[in-house]
Structure 1
Amino acid sequence: MSATDPTPAGRSRVRRWLVRLAALLGLAVACTAGGVAATTLFPTSVGTLNYGATLRLSIAPTDASSIQSPTIFGDIRMRFAGPVPAPGVLAQVQVKERITELLSRPGVSVRDLEPGPLELEKAARDAAIAMGLRFAAGALVVGLVVLLGYAVWRRGDPARLRWGRAVGLVAGAWLVAGVATFGSIAVTYHPEQLESFRTTGILGTVQRNADLLAGVEERAEQTTPYLKNLLALSAALQEKYAPQALGRPVAARILFVSDVHGANQYPLMKTIIEQEDVDAVVDSGDLVNFGTASEGEAAGVFSGIRSLGVPYLFVRGNHDATSEADQALLDRLAKVPNVVLLQPNATTYQVESIAGLRIAGFNDPRWFGDDNRNNAAKQKPAAAAFVRAFGDRPSPDVLVSHEPAAVEDVDQHGGIRVNGHLHKAELEGNRVGVGTFTGGGPFSHFVAQGEDGAELTGQPSSFDIAAFGEDCRLASLTRYQFRNVIEGRPAYDDVTLVNGARIEAELPQTTVAGDKLKAPAQPRTCSATAPRSTERVTAPAN
């Protein structure tokens, strides 16, 4: 009789198979929990020449597909984007005693302390075997407990004991748990699956460069010996897991800022530009608070922008005008030599080419004093006008506007979309939401609900540095967050390196026009030596 037999006997057979399948899956989940518990109760210890680590697995949703190493100076967290979620790996790092003797020698460098690739390979292999054995034992204990419970349940009716079926079910669940757990680990924790590499606390403060590797040596020399060891381990882990794309030659580094709101922190911005070797700044709006050029003059932002020494690409935000037709702030910015207005007036756009990278954008049609209603709907005419003007041109590599809804309304191929406005860093698909560079000026607070009710909480300052490769595609995005400035430098709370391949979508193989921006020609080459150029685009008459 087949499983699809519509007779009562056939339906009964189907129900029995469904019950067995549910039991198998339930047991597999229980065995997985038991296996992970075993790795926590009996953690795995592995080591290299200078370092040791205690490892355990975690099935907490917040830890999924990530490797975490907490330290007293901050955390190292690598998040992966595998095809299926994998249990998290928690690693407690220890420094071996021999390090004390090494650090007493003159001229010891970070490179001298880093574990080599073969050491890391052996440590990873030993860890996988040891955790696998512990997981298998823990899952087996759960299976044996289930069999014992089954025997107790059936003790009153020995004739109904089905040991073969019960053992087969438990063995199948044990096997499914092991294969699913370590299969997901095997396909997830690969360099090409790396989504982000994040450091917090003092580690985030010290590891400041866009690739989190360059310049570590010089800064580590100024820190404690223990911090030097943590930096060495962090650098070695990133070199092990960072995709090759993150280490490829960089054609351009672009600093993304937004929502300055009249706070003249341009000396700080200049320091960042010099230390991070930035080629241009993209400001996605809200340069002032109340929409007037006189406010910018009083705050010194125009002279601050001029002092930067690199192109400053700008689109207007909703705080940068006093009415829909107000051009005063844009006209004043146009007099600053290094400023490029991506939309200097209602009918003209400018495409700026930096190292061959095409950057374009459009202004926010709103203004200070706007009724603040239906904001997303108000962006649609501006976005539609931009698409009409660029309909026969390739998509820009970087599209900029102030509000998220504005860039979301432009359906483009490839590249990234950049916005500000929300005063917080976001990342959704290829949309990069830039946080406020200065904390937001008088608009720097939001209401947070605490145990004692609502209170005002200060917003952190933040900015992003995008590194573009010689193929004109985003190689990496480094996100910085800070609250304090010490001796002219930010004291970073958080530094996160994001793999550009996880942000910028693959280019289509065919060109599409109409209501979408065209795909760029393939292939293209960008270069740090390519000359800078500006192209003016005029909106067609309606």
Structure 2
Amino acid sequence: MASLGGMSEPTPPDRPGRRRTAVRWLARVALTVAGALLGVVLLGRVEAPLGPFDATFALTPSGGGATVEIPPLGALDVDAFDGPLGLDVQLTRVDEARVRALVADPRRIDGLVDQVSADLQDAVVRLVWVSAAAAVGGAALTSLLVLRRRREPLLAAGLSVVLLAGTAGLGAATWRPEALSSPTYTGLLVNATSLIGDARDAVARFDAYRASLEDLVGNVSTLYATISSLPAPARADDTVALLHVSDLHLNPAGFDLVRQVVAQFDVDGVLDTGDITDWGSEPENQLVASIGELGVPYVFIRGNHDSAITAGLVAAQPGATVLDDSATTVAGLTVVGARDPRFTPDQDATGGTESLEQTGEDLAEVAEDQPEPPAIAMVHDPEQAPPLDGVVPLVLAGHTHEREVDQLDGGTLLMVQGSTGGAGLRALQGEYPEPLTCTVLYLAPGTGELVAYDDITLGGLGETEVTIVRSVAPGAAAAGGAGGDTGDGTGAGTPASPTE
């Protein structure tokens, strides 16, 4: 049979050998994937600026998409692409120098979006190269440690390059730019759209105001010139000057205004009736540190947007005092204050808290227990003021973003400040921008009687008007307690050199 036709039987395939080869390659691929992921997780991250923020960029095994984390506020997720890896961006802090530069030079705002885009592109390119190197290195090292053959690291490196190329190709093929306009919010950021409105709306309004922003910033210097030439009360050396601010809402321009008024008016202290931030969060607290640079006593009470963390940071600043059903002394005058019992960013935290009226009653008891009658009581919401009527001569408040002066039935004067920060981001919500406001109070030493006050108003975003109004306190004109411009006794004084 063997000689028929000179033909021989075919050799059967070596199926066990092929099976071993397939298992070996599967093991190589598995080790490559595991090593590459390990390298990316451990080393695939970079730190870079992102506009006014410092941020950490990383690739994570999250099934595609991008996440921007803003601790502790929450995060926003964008389902922009598919793949085994996702982009994770974590904002670590606000760079105060970059924020101030942005506010000081409105021309930078025109290029802010381009700057953020360029920063993002540079960071992502760096991240891709770093992560690719980490993936190749991790795959090669894992293969060498497990398989212990010289050629295995080279094979693993080659396989990891193929896998990386496939991942990049999948991301490019599934890229969905329209997803950028509809992110998903988590954490406290769920409330962001209801707080500041639709983002596209805000951008549109900002574009409308931006044309005159340069005039506004230039006019700030005119404001300071006006401040320096404003006549002080006749008994300037014998009065106590205190600056009342409220609702700064994290506006760097508001902080700058406070700094300049403190210097130009040579005030003896600052009284802040709350809402220095918007969310009371850690990233927002960077600007709060500038309080310690004012060089005068700073008395603060928590508003409904301020957290205990914010209050603690304020209290840690040189010369600062946080009042919470307590009292302090500023330039020889006793001041009492109570916080707003609510914390708006966390609605769950408001359950079971005191009512506004109750906090006013508690503060009235604190005032009556002082060895020296208080000259001023500080509350955040005007609804806390009625129980203090007749107990203290002057109550300062904020919250409403509307400046108002009223004499209560018991003779107490209630002075509600507008927003020294122009309501922060809320300035972009309404048809008209909020002005930046603050008031310098002149009080008689010893008695603490209000003699006169200067209402300072700086036009909001897109406005260029600045006014300083000198008013004589009710009852002070008859006593001859102040010089300079005189009002009608109701807080409607005469503008001092308005500029346009």
Shorter-chain TM band: 0.3 to 0.5
TM-score by length of 1: 0.41
When Rg is computed on C-alpha atoms for both structures, the one with the higher figure is 2
TM-score by length of 2: 0.45
More helix by share: 2
More contact order relative to length (CA 8 Å, sep ≥ 6): 1
